[in-house]
Structure 1
């Protein structure tokens, strides 16, 4: 299995990088794991709704350029389906069992994901109704992917 996270913007905070690196290292025994960063679109603080759509569209094009046809894509979105860690673990196992060995997760920028990215996604996943910084979301997602593998292994890590 190959797992990829596509994130908008550069991760600057060392503590996020360190946490992600730790889980990425642990994931190495289960899967090929990578994080792909695409540049965020520079924009002023106050944007009109059409300017916001333009920013999301440009970021969306960058995201879509990193996704191959065969990849199964999860878009992270507040309106997506919430899953328990056990359900998420089972879903990843089923995807691999039924021929989806390339799984990609997409985390949008501060304005969210463009409609074209949502349309390309096979499923939407939500980590609840909280708004979280997209940098923190990378760490949380990486940990949950690791947790999913540990659940499948029957490891006490999950308890």
Structure 2
């Protein structure tokens, strides 16, 4: 039962960061909680084999792969109607508008591109670390990052003006 208590402690400590990362991958808080729960349920099955030093990487890896798996499954389902643009009140702050614009643009990226951006920029990982986490080559991380940022510039050019050209083209 010592393994079980270690898992329980891990969940209590890491739940919020995992849900935040999952929210960036899914674009939705409720889906993020479901994704985090599913990743933790899968991790619990093999927790006795998980090295405590790499437990976070292990669970995040499950999180990323389950996110992509869900996208692949949905790809074969009929497309729901695209929701119209959110009508914001004129009193909304610039920060809220920027967050909404960024969230909308991120939702329109492929799951792989979102995963690369989340690992590289939200989690502030190097290309080598991102490649290890996502189980791909460093060149794949570089190209996916380049394609994702180009797509973001295309989908939301106002973000380049807000953040400055150097931050968006990083």
Task: Please state which structure has a larger fraction of its residues in helix.
Answer: 2
The answer to which structure, 1 or 2, has the higher relative contact order (CA under 8 A, 6+ apart) is 1
Greater Cα radius of gyration, structure 1 or 2: 2
Pairwise same-fold verdict (TM > 0.5):
no
TM-score in terms of structure 1 length? 0.26
TM-score in terms of structure 2 length? 0.25
